[in-house]
Structure 1
């Protein structure tokens, strides 16, 4: 049970028990700076927690902001409280950079305790008649709140694997119960939702025309005035054109955001089409957010991991038999038999899953990436099935660029949903995009090498590829390889899909 619930944070586990005294010293000092009036109670609580025999069983509750049997520093969970409990338990490693960020999240948490967002009216009547518009007094103009009355959001950027998502989740899960209008979402999934809403708004406006972003922003603000976005990035011109207006309207409605990203706002959408139109959005982010980096002294991705056997290459009868054996083992429950061509409905479209139970699915690479599927399809697949088998993945070159893009999108969805993945491939899975799978680090372009260094990869691992040329493409490719390495680790194999 403990392993299952702590799965999203296993990469932050400390293998060094002797660091705990250092952790206690750092965290005690940090908390005294935050709440000096509670310092005595805090110190006694820390001591009580350290010797509590039920401490291990309470880790899951700590991560998810639920009530525990441990003494609390405050009357309700808060980010710094939860963080200190985790470092005290040895679940998190000592990291002063993360401590600095959790202090900022604590500041925002405290601001939100007394924040009252403005009331946002429901949608005005849709009638076109002059009389309806003249006498629509029941739908007043939305109240626009002054920026100085809205808690300043946090834009947290830094390398992959430094703990941004974990810290944001501690913040989100510790929000008090009275903040019920909140939402935590991966940014890619959020933008899919926004495009669907804009499409529906345009249909509703009909021939009258008008601004479709206004009703979308109003509905989003009504649903949540605290928004947490994970992995904010802008790679699509359609997103770039929408975001400035959308963010401006959301903030005018008093919405407070926490954003994690791999990039500083100034680096977003670099070299994108019509980037000048996106500059106002960048300026808005820098003005309305506290922009801070998580320049951690520890790269958690580079902590050695034991690779588990979930990837099989080359495509031999022996490897096929092994994949078949594992699939049968995962689908052996007689109460949940394998169904052929199970139908998933996505945006009114029908997607067939070749073989699946309620939790396990198997696709051939052609089924998964040979058809024009979108990010929305892959998100729905990974939401539905906790374990996915993908067979017969080929080595891809310039002629299969569309297939490669879809596979990258699929891997991103699997990573975000912590899907357990089994793959059979023509070459080692990290090298399926390589023109020369045997390339050394010296054969990689300067830009590619820079990105791969940032992600903890080397040319020896992924080979050399000229398929991806644009900056965003190269980053997406290298990040996919990095994620495949992590998803092949023993820790991931043991804890994903739960």
Structure 2
């Protein structure tokens, strides 16, 4: 059995991480939570049934801070080291898509409030629910989160561990009907320990030192650069590149988008897959809300005959830009030369401007989903 704190200290000793008091405090808190969870018999087990006093629910953890401060790294350590089977890690956006699908199904078969039944189904055989990048940017999620998570925590005893770029009080700030969301913020502050990670080291930017975000023309050199960016961002060993995980991203209505490479919030797509097929703004929004970084390869130089592809590319970039998604691209030309002629070429100039801004250090330092 490996402890979170021991793994963290080993990374610092090896020089892979730098000393950071806030990071260490979070590692200590996760280590204590790991030990407490592993010391409690699984619910329903013989030891659990024989226990004279059932253990008190454990407090979860809400880690928030800027980009590249080690939140996902600490979550990796916690989830990997936690030696219990009743654990689940999910990207928050994907989890909420699943919740809405479950609610729709529950409404078909039951009358009354479907949230208790959905919460019970989610909590079945589960003790820890860990999220990457909690961010709330639509009223549909905001309206149900308070009641759903109250049921998960108070009725089913789930321990919630989550990361976010924002402090709890900043979630869904200025959102529609935010008053319905405020009880969720209160729930976080009452049931989870809130810890900030805003140390001086932006590991994500440091890892990308020397690598630009836009690479042209197309060819081996451009491919090598975006490939290197992927492995630096995900810590995946390049020698095992044939086994990089893929994913199927739910788009709603039973549709899915296959993501050929999907790891730690980084996705790799071809231009042909994202813009060469019939897709709309909702598809691109799902990508932008799920991934903090998108690597797009094979972007061609387009002309009048590619007006549909160019229009989709504009919509894709709008979604990525508005959600502060980092874009690494392998393209046939620089942004201003991608679509010089054709329907919408004048409007494409705004996309060129956004693509230029997305290469700036200010944009790269912004948190995913920040407005």
TM surpasses 0.5: yes
Distance 2:145 2:12 in 1: 37
Question: Which residue among 54, 57, 60 is the counterpart of 1:153?
Answer: 60
| Aligned equivalent of 2:184 | 281
Contact in 2 for aligned 1:192/1:376 (Cα 8 Å): no
Larger radius of gyration: 1
Distance 1:244 1:351 in 2: 28
Tell me, yes or no, if structure 1 residue 220 matches structure 2 residue 122.
Answer: yes
Deviations 1:78-117 (A, max 9, x none): 1011112222222222222211111111111122122346
**Structure 1 residues 228, 427: CA separation in 2 closer, same or farther (over 3 Å shift)?**
farther
Distance 2:67 2:116 in 1: 34
Question: Which residue among 201, 211, 234 is the counterpart of 2:106?
Answer: 201
| Aligned equivalent of 2:88 | 183
Contact in 1 for aligned 2:133/2:163 (Cα 8 Å): yes
Contact in 2 for aligned 1:312/1:428 (Cα 8 Å): no
**Structure 1 residues 95, 436: CA separation in 2 closer, same or farther (over 3 Å shift)?**
closer
In the superposition, the TM-score normalised over structure 2's length comes to 0.68
**Structure 1 residues 195, 422: CA separation in 2 closer, same or farther (over 3 Å shift)?**
farther
**Structure 1 residues 93, 432: CA separation in 2 closer, same or farther (over 3 Å shift)?**
farther
Deviations 1:29-85 (A, max 9, x none): xxxxxxxxxxxxxxxxxxxxxxxxxxxxxxxxxxxxxxxxxxxxxxx1110111122
**Structure 1 residues 201, 323: CA separation in 2 closer, same or farther (over 3 Å shift)?**
farther
Within-5 A mapping of 1:106-255? 106-116=31-41, 118=43, 149-176=56-83, 179-205=84-110, 209-252=111-154, 253-255=156-158
Within-5 A mapping of 1:97-108? 97-108=22-33
Distance 2:296 2:356 in 1: 28
Distance 1:94 1:162 in 2: 12
Tell me, yes or no, if structure 1 residue 422 matches structure 2 residue 300.
Answer: no
1:393 CA displacement: 8.4
1:194 CA displacement: 1.1
Q: What are structure 2's unaligned runs of at least 5 residues?
A: 46-52, 228-241, 243-247, 262-267, 303-311, 339-348
SS of 1:215's partner is: helix
Within-5 A mapping of 1:42-57? none
SS of 1:303's partner is: helix
Q: What are structure 1's unaligned runs of at least 5 residues?
A: 1-75, 121-144, 314-318, 331-335, 337-342, 440-448, 458-473, 479-498
Distance 2:282 2:221 in 1: 25
Contact in 1 for aligned 2:107/2:114 (Cα 8 Å): yes
| Aligned equivalent of 1:261 | 164
Tell me, yes or no, if structure 1 residue 92 matches structure 2 residue 17.
Answer: yes
Question: Which residue among 303, 311, 318 is the counterpart of 2:214?
Answer: 311
| Aligned equivalent of 1:34 | none
| Aligned equivalent of 1:124 | none
Compare relative contact order (CA 8 Å, sep 6+) and give the higher one, 1 or 2: 2
| Aligned equivalent of 1:371 | 280
Contact in 1 for aligned 2:215/2:329 (Cα 8 Å): no
Contact in 2 for aligned 1:375/1:410 (Cα 8 Å): no
1:199 CA displacement: 1.5
Contact in 1 for aligned 2:60/2:191 (Cα 8 Å): yes
RMSD of aligned Cα (Å)? 4.8
Distance 2:213 2:113 in 1: 49
Distance 2:354 2:34 in 1: 50
Distance 2:126 2:321 in 1: 30
Question: Which residue among 260, 276, 297 is the counterpart of 1:389?
Answer: 297
Distance 2:66 2:257 in 1: 37
**Structure 1 residues 261, 218: CA separation in 2 closer, same or farther (over 3 Å shift)?**
same
SS of 1:193's partner is: helix
**Structure 1 residues 421, 226: CA separation in 2 closer, same or farther (over 3 Å shift)?**
farther
In the superposition, the TM-score normalised over structure 1's length comes to 0.52
Distance 1:454 1:406 in 2: 14
Distance 1:438 1:324 in 2: 21
Within-5 A mapping of 1:334-413? 361-363=270-272, 366-367=275-276, 370-374=279-283, 378=287, 389-392=297-300, 402-408=315-321, 412=325
Contact in 1 for aligned 2:106/2:114 (Cα 8 Å): yes
SS of 2:276's partner is: helix
| Aligned equivalent of 1:476 | 369
Count of paired positions:
315
